[in-house]
Structure 1
Amino acid sequence: MLDVSTQSVETAAPRRGVVRRVAIVASLTLVLVAVAASLYMVRTVDSQLADIAKTYEIRRQASELMLAVVDAETGQRGYLITRDEAYLEPYNIAVGNLSQTYQSLLALISDNPTQLSRLEALVPDLDAKRAEMARTIELMSSGQNAEALALLRSDTGLELMERIRSVVRQVIGEEDDKLIERNSRMEFYRQLLVATILAALAAAAILTYALLSRTQRKVVALAQQQNRLRTANEELEAHVRERTAAVEEARGHAERERARLETLLQDTNHRIGNSLATVSSLLGLQLARTASDEVRNALEAAQLRVQAIASGHRRLRLGPDLETTDAAEFLTDVIDDLAAAMPPDKAVTFEKHLEPMIIPARDATTLGIVVSELVTNALKHAFAEGQAGTVHIRFERGEDGVIALSVEDDGRGIASHSGQEGLGALIVKQLARQFGGSEPEYRAREGGGTAITVKLPRLDLSAASS
């Protein structure tokens, strides 16, 4: 039951939309038709007004023609009765106006064959009437009074006047009929124009109502859509706030876990360093109890190497990713530890030239051991007891793009150097191979001393960068 009613509503809505569109189109069409009809009515009314004005002008000219004939006859009779030439002046004026009025009337009715034939038939009578009046005046002027009065008393002039009046009445009568007909048409067109205007107003009212209704529905629909969007926006903002809070909570948890892991790693490195320091102390105790020089040298070398490894673990500071470290900072700390552990009789200073590089933390301790071996070798073999000097440690990328570690001293030189074939040199060689390096390069330094360079082409900087 619910499905049927819902379907009825869904089908009724499109029908109402179609009906509204049809009503709008019909109203607009009716408005356009009414406007076109109004324009046509206006033009028709203008034409009818022009025809009516022309009819009145024809009637006036016909009356003027008849009046001119009457005025001429009046002047003629006045002169014949009184012999006063003052009556000849209106006679002459009327005769002069007669031709002009006739031509004007003829021009007005030139498009009406019936009226035109009437006027053309009137020409002989007008000419005869003018001739009759002119003859009587001529006879009276020449002293032939009896002949003039006899001609006046004859029925010739009367008959001519009757025929002229009859034609003029016919002309005016036809124009009166036309005037009545045109007035009737004017009334019809006026009523039709009023009806057209009323229809246009009704159509405009219907169209306005339809447009207002449609606009109102659109406004309501837009308001509803805006409310839905506002509600959806509020829900989305609430969801975003919830997700943001969850992300912040997860981030805080991750930061805490990272801090805990970093602390754990640092603590582990320190524990390893402390354990190695304990081993170094035990080696020192054993060294103090040993009388053999060979054993003492071996224990002393082992103690130094254990101290180097312990220093590397204690000095290792992990980066934000807990997998990398700054090589320059790390090596600086390792070299400082070596300087602090240097015997008091060694007046040697260290010059560090370390290029900042991010390297994997797993390679840092190995790199620290190599530096420790090379620096210890320089301290042991380059300077005599109490001799002052300088050791230069360089860690940088060469022109060929390969990272190189070099240790230079200004001591006795490579000729007196006996550490090239010892255990330290072997350790450096083995560790350098882990980074793709070859044999360490030994060379005499200008101005005295020895320079040892170890190439490290496979030091994994790319992994550290990623």
Structure 2
Amino acid sequence: MKTLADDPGQLPRMMQRLALLVSLTLVVLAVIAALVLVQGIDRQIDDVTRTHEVRNHARELTLSLIDAESSELGYVLTGEQHYLEVYRRSTAAISTRAKSLTSLTKHDPEQSARLAAIVDDIDQRMVELKRTMDLAMAQRMPEARALLLSSASAGPMTPMRLALEQFIGDESQKLHERNQSIDLARLWLVGAIVAALAGAVALAFVLFTRAQRDVRMLAQNRRLLQSENEALEAHVRERTQAVEEAREHAERERQRVEALLQDTSHRIGNSLATVSSLLGLQLLRSESHEVKQALEAARSRVHAIASGHRRLRLGDDLETARADEFLEAVLQDMATTLCDADGVSLVGEFEPILISARDATTIGILVGELVTNALKHAFPAGRAGRILVWLKRDATGVPTLSVIDDGVGIEGSSQPGEGGLGSVIIKQLAYQFGGVPAYERRLEGGLKVVVPLPGIEQQQAPN
């Protein structure tokens, strides 16, 4: 689990996230406060409207009471009909106004109770008015005037008008108190909105400043990275140039070493060819048949070794050679230099097997011995024929050297590969590669020598 000590940049990132969260929270709170403020204003408007209606209805009720009382007095005293019409309109308006006020004040229990008491008094007074008007309309004017002028009826509307005026004043006072409370709440809400927006603006400014600094740092780091990249590319170019020069130098050295090795092989081959020529001169001056045979065998073997050195071509690793190229060259050299091969054709079939450079000469000597033995024993007295030399993999994948001739073969009961120095040399050379030569008489004539060479691949250098 990472800690702040493991990642120094984690704390600034946490502070940025916290500042952003706080800024968003303040904005949300400001929006909520604005909604509450709007709702408060709506409630205040509704409250003012309702209070205005209550006051208007109360005043109209007061006026209707006055009109009812005035029309009663006028009709009883004069009997004129227009007072009766005014009375009827006033009594109807009193009932309507009373019901409206009751409906408007039902949410306020105190005002509703007060209004109920006033309405009860109004109802009682209206009963008395109706009794007086009934007497007047029945042309019982004396009784009606007596009832109107009775002490019980003196100034009956004054307490109700005063009660309604008090009711209107209390309603106005409550409206004023509610407006003050709403104004105070509105002031607090406005202050909260201003504070929230100011905090959000401050945090936004901090975040903006931080973002600008991060952008500047990012641009600076990008320029630094570009500079480092250019320096690295320059260093890589220098190193690449140095490596290329070193590779070219190594290639020149390899070519020089290869040339030296080739020159050394040619010098060794030429020296051995000189030895072979000296042996040939000695052969011409010798009179003993046995000495001539020994010198001829030695000269042939020295010539085979010289041919191997001259024909050796190393690969790019300077440690291996291709058997097909090397043995083809050796066979060509043998075909042009051995005097006994005038009527005999040498045919080679070789697979491109990689062999060690130190083993190539040995394999060349082995091929030379086998071919020399075939020329010596299979084609006497100028007999023509063919010698086929193979180096291929057998069915098990083991490189195998085969030399097949169509000569006279081996006469009598003598076993192939016994008795001569050449046979001993062939056995010793084959043993170096873990193989044993096998001699087979062919039914169609001639001899086949098969030499497995499993040690070639074990000893060859890697490609």
TM-score, length-scaled by structure 1: 0.84
The aligned residue for residue 130 of structure 1 is 126
Of 447, 457, 460, 2:454 maps to 457
Q: Following TM superposition, by how much is the alpha carbon of 1:310 offset from its aligned partner in structure 2, in angstroms?
A: 0.9
SS in 1 for 2:155: helix
Residue correspondence of structure 1 range 100-249 to structure 2 within 5 A: 100-154=96-150, 159-249=155-245
SS in 2 for 1:235: helix
The aligned residue for residue 277 of structure 1 is 273
TM-score, length-scaled by structure 2: 0.85
Of 411, 423, 426, 1:428 maps to 426
2-structure distance, mates of 1:380, 1:419: 13
Return 266-275 or 216-225, whichever deviates more.
216-225
Q: Following TM superposition, by how much is the alpha carbon of 1:327 offset from its aligned partner in structure 2, in angstroms?
A: 1.3
2-structure distance, mates of 1:73, 1:343: 172
Q: Is the 8 A contact 1:277 1:307 kept in 2?
A: yes
1-structure distance, mates of 2:156, 2:275: 167
Q: Following TM superposition, by how much is the alpha carbon of 1:353 offset from its aligned partner in structure 2, in angstroms?
A: 2.6
Q: Is the 8 A contact 1:326 1:357 kept in 2?
A: yes
1-structure distance, mates of 2:14, 2:457: 75
- Aligned AA for 2:333? D
The aligned residue for residue 383 of structure 1 is 379
Residues 223, 449 of structure 1: alpha-carbon distance in 2 compared, 3 angstrom cutoff: same
Return 163-172 or 325-334, whichever deviates more.
163-172
The aligned residue for residue 388 of structure 2 is 392
Return 75-84 or 116-125, whichever deviates more.
75-84
Deviations 1:62-117 (A, max 9, x none): 33433454555566567657767676666556544544543442243234333122
Q: Is the 8 A contact 1:359 1:460 kept in 2?
A: yes
Residues 269, 22 of structure 1: alpha-carbon distance in 2 compared, 3 angstrom cutoff: closer
Q: Following TM superposition, by how much is the alpha carbon of 1:262 offset from its aligned partner in structure 2, in angstroms?
A: 0.7
Residue correspondence of structure 1 range 289-438 to structure 2 within 5 A: 289-343=285-339, 346-415=342-411, 420-438=418-436
The aligned residue for residue 442 of structure 1 is 439
Residues 364, 86 of structure 1: alpha-carbon distance in 2 compared, 3 angstrom cutoff: farther
Unaligned runs of 5+ in 1: 1-15
SS in 2 for 1:442: strand
Q: Is the 8 A contact 1:20 1:210 kept in 2?
A: no
Q: Is the 8 A contact 1:79 1:85 kept in 2?
A: yes
Q: Following TM superposition, by how much is the alpha carbon of 1:431 offset from its aligned partner in structure 2, in angstroms?
A: 0.8
Q: Following TM superposition, by how much is the alpha carbon of 1:407 offset from its aligned partner in structure 2, in angstroms?
A: 1.0
Q: Following TM superposition, by how much is the alpha carbon of 1:159 offset from its aligned partner in structure 2, in angstroms?
A: 3.4
Aligned residues: 450
Q: Is the 8 A contact 1:381 1:418 kept in 2?
A: no
Residues 166, 452 of structure 1: alpha-carbon distance in 2 compared, 3 angstrom cutoff: same
Q: Is the 8 A contact 2:340 2:375 kept in 1?
A: no
Identity of aligned residues (%): 50
- Aligned AA for 2:424? L
1-structure distance, mates of 2:212, 2:86: 81
Residue correspondence of structure 1 range 10-21 to structure 2 within 5 A: none
SS in 2 for 1:353: strand
Q: Following TM superposition, by how much is the alpha carbon of 1:134 offset from its aligned partner in structure 2, in angstroms?
A: 2.2
Q: Is the 8 A contact 1:395 1:405 kept in 2?
A: yes
1-structure distance, mates of 2:63, 2:33: 44
Residues 141, 318 of structure 1: alpha-carbon distance in 2 compared, 3 angstrom cutoff: same
2-structure distance, mates of 1:418, 1:34: 116
2-structure distance, mates of 1:135, 1:60: 29
2-structure distance, mates of 1:264, 1:114: 128
SS in 2 for 1:281: helix
Q: Following TM superposition, by how much is the alpha carbon of 1:129 offset from its aligned partner in structure 2, in angstroms?
A: 2.3
Residues 376, 130 of structure 1: alpha-carbon distance in 2 compared, 3 angstrom cutoff: same
SS in 2 for 1:159: coil
2-structure distance, mates of 1:457, 1:95: 141
2-structure distance, mates of 1:458, 1:200: 92
Q: Following TM superposition, by how much is the alpha carbon of 1:153 offset from its aligned partner in structure 2, in angstroms?
A: 4.5
Residues 123, 447 of structure 1: alpha-carbon distance in 2 compared, 3 angstrom cutoff: same
Residues 70, 455 of structure 1: alpha-carbon distance in 2 compared, 3 angstrom cutoff: same
Q: Following TM superposition, by how much is the alpha carbon of 1:412 offset from its aligned partner in structure 2, in angstroms?
A: 2.2
Of 42, 54, 68, 1:58 maps to 54
Q: Following TM superposition, by how much is the alpha carbon of 1:172 offset from its aligned partner in structure 2, in angstroms?
A: 1.1
Deviations 1:384-404 (A, max 9, x none): 444443322221222333221
Residue correspondence of structure 1 range 20-31 to structure 2 within 5 A: none
Return 19-28 or 30-39, whichever deviates more.
19-28
- Aligned AA for 2:131? R
Q: Following TM superposition, by how much is the alpha carbon of 1:302 offset from its aligned partner in structure 2, in angstroms?
A: 1.6
Return 118-127 or 368-377, whichever deviates more.
118-127
The aligned residue for residue 9 of structure 2 is none
- Aligned AA for 2:456? L
2-structure distance, mates of 1:198, 1:444: 119
- Aligned AA for 1:360? S
Residues 127, 457 of structure 1: alpha-carbon distance in 2 compared, 3 angstrom cutoff: same
SS in 1 for 2:456: coil
SS in 2 for 1:160: coil
Of 259, 269, 272, 1:263 maps to 259
Deviations 1:251-273 (A, max 9, x none): 22211211111110000000011
